[in-house]
Structure 1
């Protein structure tokens, strides 16, 4: 049916589409349905995330803006990349011209790369919030920082593939892509693919692994140290003396000397007051210092529990990212040296769609891992059940 030359690229395309044409009409219809369904799920899921940010002010803080950046890139994948690729995938021919092909390639590589880089940015932000909490809170008021980082993600993602897609054939002096096909000129350049895949997937994977390991290590160290129990006794005792207006045991001051030279009738009262403040564990009375220290320790425990949830939710998102991206990245590197003949192209096509499935899964991971996203989604999908929260 198709006439191809003996070039490796053409043989690869021919083999793939002959294999693909062996499917029955029913199987092709099922594949088309699944592709369209995945496209709709990607669009609607990420649109829900964007609407949640517009309607719910509780989501508008530094760390969640990075989730918004990720949702925008995933939404664009469903709106632009998938719809244009579905007919090309089913028919084996590109009918939209070279200009649209270039635009599609730039957008596809840009959005997928930006999605992976956003995972790194989210992991880095969580890493700072857990391991460097004081400096992280100090940056919350700097509104320009998230914007700069979000824009930098898109610039880096474009620079990785964009110039190569646009100018490769001009530098090489000719194009290796047939007129009715649409793929990048570097599709079989192993050296470029190795470098680009390393920067696109393997380096981000190492970074998010590093951040996650340090987050879990920080949490385990705080648990072993028993931070909540450490503040329970010595810190509470110190604060209790301060709030009761008495010096610490062993400290000398003019007021203490005056008390020592005073009448003995006042000492039992002073000693009783001192015992109440310095030894709250032996007395059921609540002093201001005791109340403050209990509150402080409760906040410490609360932060430790919150950091545990952050670590677990981040681990889930990162694992899904690794599962969806690893097969494609490995096949791209393996396929390069053998010009695609050592990897069945149907397998490559499956890993290509698995890459896009990550954009469909991310919106479902947000409510699974974050209570605020879950509440925001419920307010949008079930407004009658949350009438009192619309004004928040």
Structure 2
């Protein structure tokens, strides 16, 4: 009853429930700002990726093996925006989980599976771009729709299987049962991952990322060589086959550059979180909660921004938003920037 009581200022997630987690309150102004920042990311992830999928499926010009991979990548990021970001937003701002323990497990699985699915898609896209730039004339026979479908299947099956196996068997908590029990309070959704699985997670991130770095480095080296070759032969008469090859190479280099920016944005978004998770597991979870939240949301925001890098996306969105997409001839529109 007394305001001088040391427990008077303590707020709980569930005030009338024994074993409730302690709530870390923000000021009203801070809460509004955080909801705006996190909510904007979630809305952008949902509607941005929905527009990407709509554009690729609707416009015939975008029906290609690469763009089918991009559409599947957009689907993974769309699901992050629908099943992960809104609930993480409430958890981050309110510092409490109000959606039940069962959905907490599903939320953790969705988070892991869809984010790794994005990573695998980007890795396969980098392989696709490498083939397209280094051997543009043979590329259509190497990376077909069937190959694209296989890559898409792998990008979904492996992350979903891995996520489900780890979190539903409880393998991630082995050796940390006491810590997991201590964090198990009403209104909490804390995932404890032991050192072995954190290391596996980091390698699962690091190896595909390293592959992408190597491939895109080679892509830009080849692109530079091709550009010099075109400059050296610019004053000479080109045969029709050479002219066609140079045009194809230029187009593929431009596409590779756009996707290279996407990969760089992905690494900038995810690297802090991945490194912090690895350090935390071996240093006794020393990262302050607010720093961890910042790293998490930097990673989530990656699902919302990558579509903005595609020139055809900007043209497609104008057609879709203006309503011209409902015209019979809209599917055959030219979305090229050239």
Q: TM-score range by the shorter chain?
A: 0.7 to 0.9
Aligned to 2:93: 90
C-alpha contact (below 8 Å) 1:379/1:386 kept by paired residues: no
Deviation (angstroms), 1:29: 1.8
Aligned equivalents of 1:391 and 1:86: distance in 2?
37
Aligned to 1:56: 59
Q: CA deviation digits over 1:162-213, x for unaligned, max 9?
A: 3111111698495534043213231xx223212211212x112211111111
C-alpha contact (below 8 Å) 1:165/1:184 kept by paired residues: no
Q: CA deviation digits over 1:102-129, x for unaligned, max 9?
A: 1111111101111111111111110111
Aligned to 1:333: 278
Aligned to 1:153: 155
Deviation (angstroms), 1:227: 8.6
Describe how 1:134-283 pairs up with structure 2 within 5 A: 134-139=137-142, 142-168=144-170, 172=174, 175-176=180-181, 177-180=183-186, 181-186=188-193, 189-200=194-205, 202-226=206-230, 229=233
Determine whether 1:354 maps to 2:294: no
Question: What is the RMSD computed on CA atoms of the aligned residues?
Answer: 2.8
Deviation (angstroms), 1:340: 1.5
3-state SS, counterpart of residue 336 of structure 1: helix
Aligned equivalents of 1:151 and 1:121: distance in 2?
11
Q: CA deviation digits over 1:325-368, x for unaligned, max 9?
A: 11111111111122222x2221111010000000010121223x
Deviation (angstroms), 1:230: 9.5
C-alpha contact (below 8 Å) 2:131/2:139 kept by paired residues: yes
C-alpha contact (below 8 Å) 1:45/1:363 kept by paired residues: yes
C-alpha contact (below 8 Å) 2:172/2:197 kept by paired residues: no
1:320 to 262, 265, 271: 265
Aligned to 1:9: none
TM-score, length basis structure 2 = 0.83
- Structure holding more helix per residue: 1
TM-score, length basis structure 1 = 0.72
C-alpha contact (below 8 Å) 1:228/1:300 kept by paired residues: no
Provide structure 1 residue ranges, at least 5 long, that are not aligned to the other structure: 4-12, 237-292
3-state SS, counterpart of residue 205 of structure 1: helix
